[in-house]
Each structure stands twice: as C-alpha cells, then as structure tokens.
Structure 1
Amino acid sequence: MYRIDDEQRRLRLGRRHLLAPAARASSVVAVADAVVALHATDAATVFLSACARLTTPDIGAVERALYEDVSLVRLLAMRNTLFTMSRAVAASVDASHARRVAAKERQRLLKHLREDGNGLDERWLAAVEQQTIAVLSLRGRATGSELSAAVPALRTKITVFPGTRQETVQGVASRVIRVLAAEGRIRRDRPRGTWTSSQFRWTASEPLPPSDPARARVEVARRWLQSYGPATEKDLAWWTGWGVRETREALAAIAPEEVLLDSGAAGWVIPGDLAAEPPSEPWAALLPGLDPSAMGWADRTFQLPSNHRAALFDRAGNIGPTVWFNGGIVGGWAQRADGELVWRLLSDVGGEASELVASEASRMSAWMGDARITPRFRTPLERELTA
C-alpha cells in the first residue's frame, strides 16, 4: 500500500489550506473553498481564518463577501454547527446537511410550543414567521430586539422542558429567528458594532434551490478529501456528522485511493492524488479558535502533540487560538486588553520558528488595528496568557 507519512500530511496542509506564504490567496471565496467551509460560531473566527490566508489581509473584503455580494453564505450544517462557505459549496452543503438540520430545528420548536400547553401550534408559528419576514421586507434589516418590538407575537413566553430539572421560561423570538435562518428564509446582515460583534441584524433571503441529498454528500466528501486527505473514514464521518452508511456510500462513489498512514490506519485520497508534496519554505501562522485547519480531523496526532491538548482545548472539546509552524500546532496565542498579541510555544521549535511566529504576529497586529478579540470558547492557555 502507498504510504503518506505525517510530514507529507503537514506539507499538504500548508499548501492546500493556504497557510504557507506562497500559497496564500487573493480572494475570500478562494480561502473558503480551500478549506471547504470556515467555522462561524464565533463571529471573529471567519475574519481571522480568512485574513490569515489572504496575501493582503482585508476586513472590508470579508465584509463585502458576507453582506454585499453575498458570495459567502452562512449555514447551520455539519454537526449542527454554523459554517460560512462559497455559494458553490453552499448548494451541496444545504442539500447534504442544512435542510435536515433545519427540519430538526423546526420539529424541536414545535415540540416546545405543544408542551407549553397554551394552544400554540403550526398555524400560530406560520403566522408569526410571515409577520417577521414582512417586517424585514419592509425595513430591509432589523435586529432581534427590533423584530420583537415590531411583531408582538415574538414576545410570547413559553415554558420549555416542563416538569423537569431543566424547566425554564423563554421567549420564542430567538427560536423563531433560528428556524427561519436555518431554512434560509432570512440571513445575518451587518452586525451592530464592528466585525467582532455577534449582535447581528437580519434581512430577508431566499432559500437555496433543492438538490439531491445523496449526490450532494458525494460532492461534499470529494471537496473535503481534496482539502483534508489523506484522511480516514472516521475523520470524514466526524467532520460531516454522517453515520457509517452515509459516509461509506459517499466514499464509494468517489472511488478514492487507499494509503497507509503513520498511525497504521488506512487513509483515503481522491483518485490520482498520490504524488509526493515537495518541500515548502518554513512558515508560521496564528489561527483562531475553531479554525478549520485544527478542526478538520477526528485524529489530529499528525499535527497536534497529545501533551498540548489540555492547554489548547476547553472542556467541551473546542480548540482555542493556536500557533502553527510547518503544519504542526506548536503553541497558543491570545490578545490582551491593551491589544498586545502574546503567545507561548509549547514545542521546542528553535530560533527560526520563533522569529517566524513573531513576524506573523506583527503582520496580524497590523491588519487587526484596534480590534479586540476574546474567543467565545476560552481555553486554559488563552486565559493564562490574558491574566
């Protein structure tokens, strides 16, 4: 069996994920396509991940892609997580993931409405949704608070998980907005405040046209394997959130080539992707929490020493801000209240690597300007660096 060792995997990552300086892209869409999709749970992550891979980092370019030409689309998709991707990728992700997620979100909301016992049902929800979209169509955009002020029904309170230890009273506004967004009937517009803010305005939108889910899964798997291969079946199943049957069917349709990994596991690459990756110039990167290059595999041992996990992950398994050198995670970084970027190397990588990290931190500080970043998921090392 053809072997692809860990060094080759790190070389592939540097080029295919546009992290090596010579591989950086000139457009935000190219960045998103290179990693299939950018994590978007934390508003700042999209900007940090994109600018780390742009030849000329540009906050304005990311904002234009998100809010003006809408060449980047946000979808609640893989593993019930919010991602941002190009429109070409979004068509496949919508059919393979997002529509199923949206259906579950609607079912969950209707279940809460029925359990509340006040006669709220599908007809009530449909009327509230119509009123909400009508307000957005009239105003153009509005925050959740503004929508609640304009649509009285959004101020309705319901009791969720009645009779259990989790019983609580909640407003329906955020849940209705979440369902409408998951279905593509509304989308996030520019936030209140800067690009780091999560207080989004909303605007009316049109759902993506439907397509065949099975074919869409094959396309998503093909794109993922091109960007993240060699990788295992387990890696693909973890990243997508698919079951074993769906994962194997998608792989079989691609007819990938099997390779041996240093871990001893069998990995897969797309057909014809066995050529050795040539050496690249040394590089360093400072990537945000939940960056796709750190979240692309279930087994990250080829890039992440096991003794680094405790410092770089929170209790829920979310990875925080990381420092990279030549395709491996070698430390973590943070931003202090005064704007200073600070980092700690957890691996002994030598003087050249330290200089490259400092240079990348300087580049990052220059394009970030006065922005202040506090990750949504805080890790032990990030907290320590900012203490």
Structure 2
Amino acid sequence: MAPAPPSSTPRISDDERRARLAHRQLLAPGRRAATVEEVADALVGLHATDPATVYLSACARLAEPSTAEVERGLYEDVTLVKLNSMRRTLFAVSIDAAPYVNCSTARAIALKEREGLLKQLRQSLPDWDERRLVRTEREVLAALAERGEATTAELAQDVPALRESMVVSPGKPYEGRQSVGSRVLRLLASDGHVRRARPRGSWTSSLYAWAPSPQLPDVPVREAKAEMARRWLGSYGPATEADLKWWTGWTLRDTRAALADVGAREVRLAAGPGFALPGDLEDAGQGGDWAALLPGLDPTAMGWRDRDWYLAPEHVPFLFDRAGNVGPTVWWNGRVVGGWAQRADGEIVWRALTDVGRDAVAAIEAEAARLSAWIGEVRVTPRFRTPLERELVR
C-alpha cells in the first residue's frame, strides 16, 4: 500500500470526481460527441467483449446516436480497431491509440495466447507443433487475402487444418472440445494480422467475418505504457495507483514507472492517495444535471477498481454477475442509481435502487426514450446477465 500523502498534497473530493465524469466521459448532453472516434478516445477504448456494448456505449455519448456511425468507424473507414488488451479484454480503440494499446498490453497477451495454444495443441493433437501452427497461419492469411473477408468456417474450406478439434480442460468436469480454427483466428487477431469485419447478421451478432488488419507502427514498450497512463489519467483521473494497475492489467512495477514517466502529481482522494496529470488539479465545477443509461461492460462503470465513490456497495449484488461483470446501469449526476433492461416487446424498463427524486426520474425517462428511438426493432440481451436485468425482463 502506498504511504499516505502529506497534508499539503491537493485534495480532490468525490463530488469533483463525479463532476469530471460529465465532461470527460461525454455523459452530459452538452458534451456529447459527433463521431465514434471521439467517443473511443474520450474513454481510451470501448469494451467489445459483447458486440452490442460498442454500439450502446458509443450511442449513449453521440449527439446523434446512430449504428451507421459506429459501423463506419469499425468496418468502412476502419478507424476503430479491436484489440485483446487491457485485462485480457477485447477493446475497440481508435487507430491513433491502437499502437500504444498494442505495444503496452496487447503484444504481451498475444505471446501468452500463443504459448497457451501450443500447449493445448501438443496435449490434444500430437502432430501439431510450432512449425505446423506457423504454416497454418500462413495458409490462413493467404486464403484471407484471396477472399478479402471470410468467416472461420469459410476459411476452413481452404485450410483443412482449421477443421480439426482439440480437447480443452482435459480431465475436468467441464472438459470439452474446441475447434482449432477458432483459436488460430483469435491468435492471428491478437497478433494484429486479422481484424473482425462486419458480422453476419445485426450489430448484436457475434458471427464475425475476418479481414486483413492494418499494420500498426511499433512504439517502444515503456513509451507506450506512459502514453496509456497519460490517456487513462486524462479520462479517468484523478485515481489511485491500484485503479490504473487493475484497469491495464500491468504489474505494480510497470504501473509505477508509467505514472512517473508522465509526471503524475500525487493527490488526496477519499479512497486514499491518488494521482492526477500535471495541471489537472482544478475543480471541474458543476456542469448541470445529467442522466445516462449505460450498457453492460460500459467503460465508465468498469473504469476503476475502487467504485465506492460512484456506486453504493449495497447495489453491487443487483448490478454485477458473479464474475464481476457489470450489467446495464442507470446514472444520475455521476452516481449509479439503478439498472435497466429491454423486454422482449422492445420496451426499455428501469428501476432505481435509491430515491432519486422527480427531476432525476424525468431525465432518466427521457434517456430511456432516446435509447428506444435509435435501437428501433433490435432486441439486445447482455452477454453477462445480472440479477436486476433478469428481474426487469420478466
């Protein structure tokens, strides 16, 4: 645990931290963005484990919410890139941020992915070794270059090795089989050779085609980590050392080095010692009332390890699953006050877990109507179901 800062260290209250959310996380109506790239950069990255989250998170912050705008960035201009990165989680990041995300976190994860896959292949399929894996990857990339875009199943028509399957978790109660193809394509994506192209189906679908990925420039690892710390503090700071370590998945040593490299200033938070960027110590002020309906795994809800300053501990069992994944949340002036869901008939329903007052109810209802208007006929079920979300859809 870091030592307590001296009394002369600037103090930033929880109220000030919540006020910053309205501006930096683009949640106040007057702060909403024009493009999906602006949203991604404001949050450093958009959680993408659940395909719907990218759209829901972006449109909550767009002045004119539109699935077409998100698809433009992801699939037409390819100015958003999905990388398996922070905390071994899939994020959609801007093409400007991608080199830093790649070199600070994604490459190290890709190396572990390769080691893990080779171990599983050797255990389950003795004729597989590193040379065969590399040869198969080359064949996949050649087939993909010929096709332009293709699903894993389509690529398996050209590369028969992808049709093989291997045993995962042998000897465990949950032992099963997994296709070699799914793992090889995931590895190629982790290495930055392929990207997830437009899904086959609606924007909520997980059945992606694959396409060649734009090659990202190299950045020295330490420089990349420093830039990531700078971007994160600019969006999520002031925050604790433990928050940054948790969010990135870095070691404590790397976290401290990155904070030092950006000249982070020590501050006092209600949670204990924290850090802010140089020149970022002024009171953010109050930007007026705001409400937001954010999706499961939204970056704002998952941005810090310590959440007590915006989420009452007694609300956690209603809004998180057992693995620690947050579900859809309702926000009022920088606090999580409840949750929401979409019923089978399309109705957006929500429930407050605390008394929020009439002004908040009116603002939340307006956000629910805004969300319903752009979603239209699409039905969204979070990949990670939470107790309150399940209850609301009954």
TM bracket, shorter-chain basis: over 0.9
The superposition leaves residues 100-159 of structure 1 with CA deviations (integer Å, 9 ceiling, x where unpaired) of 111111111111122225221112112211221112111111112212233211011223
Query: Does the residue aligned with 1:299 lie in a helix, a strand or coil?
Result: coil
> TM-score if structure 1 supplies the norm length?
0.97
Check if 1:268 corresponds to 2:263. no
**Counterpart of 1:305?**
312
The superposition leaves residues 249-290 of structure 1 with CA deviations (integer Å, 9 ceiling, x where unpaired) of 001111111111123x01111001111112112110000001
Within 5 Å, give how 1:13-52 maps onto structure 2.
13-52=21-60
Within 5 Å, give how 1:130-149 maps onto structure 2.
130-149=138-157
- 1:167 shift after superposition: 4.2
1:91 equivalent among 99, 102, 111 = 99
Structure 1 contact 221–251 (Cα < 8 Å) conserved: yes
The superposition leaves residues 303-332 of structure 1 with CA deviations (integer Å, 9 ceiling, x where unpaired) of 001111000000000000000000110000
- 1:92 shift after superposition: 0.3
Structure 1 contact 303–329 (Cα < 8 Å) conserved: yes
Check if 1:100 corresponds to 2:108. yes
Check if 1:345 corresponds to 2:352. yes
More displaced 10-residue stretch of structure 1: 203-212 or 79-88 = 203-212
Q: In the superposition, relative to structure 1, how do residues 252 and 193 fare at CA in structure 2: closer, same or farther (>3 Å)?
A: same
| Deviation beyond 6 Å, 4+ runs, structure 1 | none
Structure 1 contact 115–160 (Cα < 8 Å) conserved: no
Check if 1:284 corresponds to 2:305. no
Identity %: 56
Give unmatched runs, 5+ long, in structure 2: 1-8
- 1:32 shift after superposition: 0.6
Letter in 1 for 2:39: V
Check if 1:115 corresponds to 2:123. yes
Check if 1:156 corresponds to 2:164. yes
1:355 equivalent among 362, 379, 382 = 362
Query: Does the residue aligned with 1:118 lie in a helix, a strand or coil?
Result: coil
**Counterpart of 1:205?**
213
Letter in 2 for 1:31: V
Structure 1 contact 186–204 (Cα < 8 Å) conserved: yes
* Alignment partners' CA distance in 2, 1:207 and 1:100: 17
* Alignment partners' CA distance in 2, 1:218 and 1:90: 14
* Alignment partners' CA distance in 1, 2:177 and 2:300: 39
Query: Does the residue aligned with 1:104 lie in a helix, a strand or coil?
Result: helix
Structure 1 contact 288–322 (Cα < 8 Å) conserved: yes
Give unmatched runs, 5+ long, in structure 1: none
**Counterpart of 2:266?**
258
> TM-score if structure 2 supplies the norm length?
0.96
**Counterpart of 1:372?**
379
CA RMSD of aligned residues (A): 1.2
Equivalent residue pairs, number: 386
Within 5 Å, give how 1:321-332 maps onto structure 2.
321-332=328-339
Structure 1 contact 141–189 (Cα < 8 Å) conserved: yes
**Counterpart of 1:174?**
182
